[in-house]
A = this chain, B = another copy of it.
Amino acid sequence: MFVLGIDPGVSRCGYGGVRSQGRQWQAVCAGVLESDPGLALPVRLAGLRRDLAELFEALRPDVVVVERVLFQVNATTAMATGQASGLALAEAAARGCPVVEYSANEVKLAVAGDGAAGKRAVQRAVADQLRLPAPPRPPDAADALALALCHLASLPLRRALAAQGVAP
């Protein structure tokens, strides 16, 4: 199974792909889609939409995992992040690709064992689980890999619940 994590953002949108074979997880790709802060917001969003479409077309993930955007201290940033997440969710669904959302706390709990883990702890956990020599850079790419790992870690529980007819 190939899981693609998306850490949504207009300025920097992280992506990270992890392939699972049995209990082996392997990082396939990680990077950041960026937009020019000098452009108007609609133009930046259109560029992000095009970049996401090209990414999904090139990678053809089995599942796309997008961070669920919650309200943050900075209202303007949160709204732009929400707009970016909307583009990612719509692009995946339009391709018929399953999409799952997890909150940042769910990701931290699943990957670092602590829902309040700091950024560095999550990045080290990502590097450990994917047997990488160093935490992936930039941080947005590491966060996207963490999203993919969170989904892979939750699959046994999801399958057990589904077998009992319970939606996760």
Contacts and interface: CB of A to CB of B under 8 A. Distances in A.
Interface string A88-114: 011111100001010000000000000
A61 to B, nearest CB: 13
Interface stretch (A78-86, A137-145, A151-159): A78-86
A87 to B, nearest CB: 6
Nearest to A84: B86
A41 interface: yes
Contacts of A45: 86, 89-90, 93
Interface in A42-97: 42-43, 45-46, 48-50, 69-71, 75, 78-79, 82-87, 89-94
B89 A42 contact: yes
Contacts of A69: 79
Contact of A48 (B42, B90, B99): B90
Nearest to A49: B90
A96 to B, nearest CB: 9
B82 A86 contact: yes
A42 B101 CA distance: 10
Interface string A3-34: 00000000000000000000000000000000
Given A86-B87, A87-B86, A43 B93 contact: yes
Contact of A42 (B41, B75, B78, B93): B93
Contacts of A49: 90, 94
